[in-house]
A and B are shown apart, each in its own frame.
Chain A
Amino acid sequence: MDKTQLLLGLAVSLFALGLLGVIVRRNVLVMLMCLELMLNGVILSLVTFAYQTATTVGAVLVFLVFVVATAEIALAIPIVLLLVREKRTLNLDAYNELKG
């Protein structure tokens, strides 16, 4: 098992743990943090491939993902604040008004 395989395995594990967190946790803030964990897994895989092929494409993509992650969190947090002010809870099960 070489370095690349170890890092790719770690990236997959981080992504899957984040996905599991988004599915099983009920706290909205914790779910947001699990989304960040998934993004971190993807970034790790990009860096690993950039390292393996010795190109800068992966690093450029990582930069763009940083921007997307920052914009995402800057938008998601006000929405969460709004929801909490409306419902007085962080539990996702309370936000079921859009359910068909």
Chain B
Amino acid sequence: MIDTLLQSLDTLLLVAFSLCALVGAALMLVLRQPMRVAIALISTMIFLGGIYGLLGVHFIAAFQVLIYVGAVMLFMVYVIMLLEVREATEAPYSRLLWPGLAGFVLLVGTIGISIWRGAPPPAAVADGTTFGISRFSVSFLNEYWLHFELTSVLLLAAVVAAVAVIKVSRKADSKRRHG
């Protein structure tokens, strides 16, 4: 009795979180001010973190909140506050609004129908240890250590590129000052 109740509560929460995430994503396209768009995106990410938690992938839920909301979106919010360029008078959407909408409907329709029709294979048994941090870390550093090392190369490239961007900006500054 309590088990079925908990299971239906689980499903209910999953559907509610999905709807909230979808509403947040749709609001991102409608809202005008970048700060409000950022808030909508943050709420979407938090609801997605809730979904990961409901699925039992707790460490990804934690990292979603820590990395995405805590680092990436905080950075974004700071930049929005830093820039504060207001241009409410211009047209909010580009000329590609209608082709974009048509492409959106086509994409969602095609993939949605294929998801709807395709009978999902029977779900494997995902017990409590499947997504435990210990099993994940062992397989991460045993089987996928090469990919892990490759990301470190990517991060190094990002650092070099950031330094290059700063150099370009300094050059542009000095050019503006002297000429």
| Residues in chain A within 8 A of chain B (CB atoms) | 1-10, 12-14, 16-21, 23-27, 29-30, 32-34, 36-37, 40, 43-44, 47-48, 50-54, 56, 59-60, 62-64, 66-71, 73-75, 77-82, 84-86, 88-93
Residues of chain A with a CB closer than 8 A to B5's CB: none
Are A50 and B57 interface neighbours, CB within 8 A?
A: yes
Are B103 and A23 interface neighbours, CB within 8 A?
A: yes
| Residues in chain B within 8 A of chain A (CB atoms) | 11, 14-15, 18, 21-22, 25-26, 28-29, 34, 37-38, 41, 44-45, 48, 51-52, 55-57, 59-60, 63-64, 67-68, 71-73, 75-76, 79-80, 82-83, 85, 87, 90-94, 96-97, 99-101, 103-104, 107-108, 111-112, 115-116, 120-121, 123-126, 130-131, 135-136, 139-140, 144, 147, 151, 154-155, 158, 161-162, 165-166, 168-169, 172
Query: Which of B11, B15, B29, B155 touches A20 (beta carbons < 8 Å)?
Result: B29
Main secondary structure of the interface of A (DSSP, over half): helix
Main secondary structure of the interface of B (DSSP, over half): helix
Known A12-B112, A70-B71; further 19 A-B contacts with Cβ < 8 A: A6-B18, A13-B25, A17-B28, A19-B107, A23-B103, A24-B97, A24-B100, A29-B34, A29-B37, A29-B83, A37-B25, A40-B68, A44-B48, A66-B68, A68-B151, A74-B162, A77-B75, A82-B168, A84-B85
